[in-house]
A = this chain, B = another copy of it.
Amino acid sequence: MRCDVVAVGTELLLGQITDTNSQWIGEQLALAGIDSLLQVKVGDNLGRVQALLRRMLADTDAIIVCGGLGPTHDDLTREAIAGVMGAELVHDDAVADVIRHLFESRGRRMAANNLRQAQVPVGATIIPQTRGTAPGLICPVSIGGTTKVIYAVPGVPHEMKEMVERAVLPDLLARGGDAGVIVSRTLRTWGESESGLNERLDPVIARLDEVGNPTLAFLASGWEGMKVRLTAKAPTQGAARALLGEWEREVRALVDDVVFGTDDDTMESVVLQLLRERGLSLGLAESVTGGLVAGRITNVPGASEVFRGGIVSYASEVKFGLLGVPEGPVVSEAAAMAMAVGAQRALHADVALALTGVAGPTEQDGMPVGTLCVGIAIGDEVQARTLRLPGQRDQMRQMSVISALDLLRRTLLAR
């Protein structure tokens, strides 16, 4: 089964917005085991979209077209597909009613041109809209005795994603003779390289290669560590989840020490949850990261139950004054511990995390660029660790955030 992708929109070609839709669709198709060999951006031009679809259908079984389903005159995906199908475009009363009700329920008047969205090529099946006003379309096209298919979905990412998951992928899998469901589970890791994970997981990978289901993939997520993703295919959601659970245990048996969370977890959400479970409040003292840790912590809804605040002690005098750090080198384990204790006291927090280091461009206190000293105070216990991080200013600062949060996570778990 092969499904290529077309993103329609002149603004994409002009570089005014990034086409992230075809990337997301490509990822979903790969997860579902469907080949996608060509992904194309084309402008809002009826002749060009039609010529492109005709040419692409010669090589592929299916095409997903994103965008061009809006109500204005330059939204021409419906016309283009109808042309390729050799079908008439007709007004669908039921679709029109749904659109009219959508506007009424929001207390807004429907402009006449919204009825363009109720035009459907004869022979197409409608994918009902649940988020926007435009329905999607499943359009069979006969070519030399074979039936191929064009799917039309909106260009608005959250509308597109919901429709692709709900209707397009199941339809594609059914056409491919594969009526199962695809479910994946991501383990988030920090502290091990891709090759290191690969080596440690080698026995599991070998067995997975034999059974073929689920599959295992490594996904780099930049400063946020490596993801290990298991993807299972099964007749039902329940069966897929059971299979995933079984293999997740096998994976964790080999690398659980570097797994900090699953799926939508972030390092900061995990740390806040550990603190919440233990009834502990958190304070921060940041120098090298200059507020980045606090900014991430406070982006987690509900952070206020746990997080009391932070002190960004960028100038050394702020460390000496507000945090009570003894005068001397400020990039040291002693300074990091004093900062943590100072933050604990000043912010009346049970736990404090402190970061001091050298982001560059030049060394400081005789410490090279990339040095990070982390101090952690929990109750009366204080400890510090020194790390050497790679990268230029911005990368070093971002690595510092997640490295320090991971140290705090491990310290909380070890207690």
Contacts and interface: CB of A to CB of B under 8 A. Distances in A.
* A: contact size bracket: 35 or more
Given A284-B291, A291-B294, A292-B298, 8 more contacts: A15-B24, A17-B23, A18-B18, A38-B52, A301-B361, A303-B314, A309-B322, A310-B312
A39 interface: yes
Given A291-B291, A312-B291, A318 B298 contact: no
A5 to B, nearest CB: 9
A30 B42 contact: no
A25 B303 CA distance: 41
A304 interface: yes
A241 interface: no
A27 interface: yes
Interface in A19-39: 19-20, 22-28, 30, 36-39
B309 A314 contact: yes
A41 B22 contact: yes
Contacts of A393: 299, 301
Contact of A16 (B27, B37, B38): B27
Given A24-B15, A347-B322, A308 B299 contact: no
Given A295-B291, A298-B291, A315 B309 contact: yes
Contacts of A297: 290-291
A27 B40 contact: no
A15 B23 contact: yes
Contacts of A28: 15
A219 interface: yes
Interface string A216-254: 000100000000000000000000000000000000000
A282 to B, nearest CB: 10
A186 interface: no
Interface in A334-354: 346-348
The 6 lowest CB-CB distance pairs between A and B, nearest first, are A290-B298, A291-B294, A15-B27, A291-B291, A15-B26, A310-B312
Interface of A: 12-20, 22-28, 30, 36-43, 45, 48, 52, 55, 219, 284, 286, 289-295, 297-299, 301, 303-304, 307-315, 317-318, 321-322, 346-348, 361, 393-394, 397
A346 to B, nearest CB: 6
B315 A312 contact: no
A284 to B, nearest CB: 7
- In this complex, the member of A20, A315, A322, A393 whose beta carbon has the largest number of chain B beta carbons within 10 angstroms is A315
Given A292-B295, A309-B312, A19 B23 contact: yes
A221 to B, nearest CB: 11
Nearest to A321: B348
Nearest to A22: B41
Contact of A289 (B24, B295, B318): B295
A295 B295 contact: yes
Contacts of A348: 317-318, 321
Given A18-B18, A19-B23, A37-B48, A346 B361 contact: no
17 contacts: A13-B36, A14-B27, A15-B26, A16-B219, A18-B20, A37-B42, A38-B52, A286-B294, A291-B293, A294-B294, A298-B312, A298-B314, A304-B314, A309-B312, A321-B348, A322-B322, A322-B346
Contacts of A55: 55
A22 to B, nearest CB: 7
B317 A307 contact: no
Contacts of A291: 284, 286, 291-295, 297-298, 310, 312
Contacts of A313: 309
A18 B13 contact: no
B315 A308 contact: yes
B39 A26 contact: no
B304 A308 contact: no
